[in-house]
Amino acid sequence: MLGYVMAQGRGAADKLLADLADNLAARGWPLAGVVQLNLERRPDRLCDMELRVLGHDHMVRISQDLGPQARGCRLDPTGLEHAVGLVEAALDTRPALLIINKFGKSEAEGRGFRAVIGRALAEDIPVQTAVSTGNLAGFEAFSAGLGTPIEPDRASLLAWVEETCAARLG
């Protein structure tokens, strides 16, 4: 019930999960969650990170512009928590699948979407996410062996989702 991909390349997992969400939404699947869009706005800065809230027209900025010389974490915790609140409320609709853009540092530290993922699993809502090698240990500690690695390609993701969610879609 907890699938994850580990894709190589900057933004590769974001594109895979966004493609998955678009494919399933086009087929009428009830979804909840977020996918990340990395927007290149200025050549002298890192991209802006926004979350598209599935099932809504909400876009939530989760990055802060700290300037061209900044090296610290650009995550905007206020934006992230706003997105978490929107997704948590969407779980009340009993979606067929929860897609979370990533199990990242915030989740590994007990914040971010961690509680939402836990709630979904407790309510038998399958979850699909992405994990980087740097956060794999935190993910494994959280998932306690329940995570299923999925090959980072469209066909493998769709196969896992269709098999995992078949009973929920009736």
CATH code where residue 101 lies = 3.40.50.300
* Containing structural domain, residue 23: 2-169
Instruction: Say what the pLDDT of residue 72 is.
Output: 47
Taking 70 as the threshold, does the pLDDT of residue 73 lie above it?
Answer: no
Selected residue with higher pLDDT from 144 and 71: 144
Count structural domains, the chain: 1
Selected residue with higher pLDDT from 91 and 63: 91
Instruction: Say what the pLDDT of residue 65 is.
Output: 60
Mean pLDDT, all residues of the chain = 88
Stated pTM of the model = 0.89
Give CA separation, 162 vs 29, 66, 96, in Å: 11, 41, 10
Q: What is the mean pLDDT of residues 139-155?
A: 96
Contact between 82 and 60 (Cβ < 8 Å): yes
Instruction: Say what the pLDDT of residue 76 is.
Output: 79
Helix (H, G, I), strand (E, B), or coil: what is residue 140? helix
